[in-house]
Amino acid sequence: MDLETYLRKTATEVNTLLDQYYGNPGTELSKASNHLLFAGGKRLRPALFKLAADTIRSGSSTGILPAGLALEVTHNFTLIHDDIMDGDATRRGKPTVHTLWGEPAAILAGDVLFARSFCLIADAMAPDAAKVEASAMLAKTCVEICEGQQQDMSFEDRQDVSLEEYLDMVTKKTGVLYGAAAAMGAILSGANKPQVDALYSYGCSIGAAFQIQDDIIDLMASSEQSGKDQASDIREGKQTIIAITARAKGIDLAPYRRVLSPAEIEEVITLLVKADVISEVQDTADAMVKRAIDGLSVLRDCPERQLLSDLAYFFVQRGY
């Protein structure tokens, strides 16, 4: 099975199970909690959870998939709170939760999803000790996600963010939930520590690379391609890896912190491409993916391991 088919099949499976759990909300708060959860998405984290589990033991993901849903539910909890902090009005083409229900209800809706995630782990058909370990990993991951979000917000008032600080931030804000997805699938399938560690490192690395690719897409992709305003990071002066790499090369992006015409966007793209900023940033993401894949050598050779490699490349080949 190729990766595209696998992801599509898994998304259908996840959506069906989500509907079984939460398809009949009995309260207004449950409706608010479900709003983004049922608004679509590729379900990449549950897919990674499944692949990791089945790489450890073929077919083992079937009985533990509720714990895979926990990753998607946690992801949506972070989205609701991020939208409040960023003041965003839309998400996945729909009004954000706080826009429809107000900020207090949206905060509670996110909290509901956070609590649901641990109930889902408890529903997995796995030894109690493994479920405790998976729950502890998810709790630790949520702390790191919050730390990463705080770092990201603190960068808004700085123009001296280092590459190391940026990579630490994106690993916490984006990477660790992918790391947890892979590691939890392994833990609940009976993996040994070297296997769990390899899958956790793999997930963290490809998750951070995913965010780097997002930074590239923000600049290089048209609004029609990405569904977002092109070059919004540069207009807002965000300390992305592109801005950090440009600064290291002596390029001042401050003049572009304003509304930009299509011609001006092309101008800044040409400037950054000629200075090899974009190629260096892409090389950073590609190197992270290669290290992640090399780390999978401790796992058995099977179709799911190949799909893990394919997924890593997919993360940095999403295009523009």
What is the per-residue pLDDT for 225? 76
**DSSP character for 261?**
-
Looking at the structure of the chain, the number of domains it has is 1
What is the per-residue pLDDT for 320? 62
Token duo for residue 310 = 């394919």
How far from chain centre, in Å, is Cα 50?
16
Residues in the chain where the model's pLDDT stays below 50? none
CA distances from 141 to 32, 134, 135, 169 (A): 24, 10, 10, 13
C-beta atoms surrounding 312 within 10 Å: 24
Burial 273-305 (b: 16+ CB within 10 A, else e): eeeebbebbbebbbebbeebbebbeebeeeebb
What is the per-residue pLDDT for 92? 82
The model's pTM = 0.94
Query: Residue 142's domain is classified under what CATH number?
Result: 1.10.600.10
Where do the H-state alpha helices sit in the chain? 3-22, 28-37, 44-56, 61-86, 97-101, 103-122, 128-155, 163-170, 176-188, 193-220, 223-226, 232-235, 241-248, 262-274, 277-294, 303-317
Range of the domain at 125: 3-317
What is the per-residue pLDDT for 89? 85
Token duo for residue 269 = 């793209």
What is the per-residue pLDDT for 93? 79
What is the per-residue pLDDT for 229? 78
What is the per-residue pLDDT for 142? 97
Nearest to 15 by CA among 45, 38, 47: 38
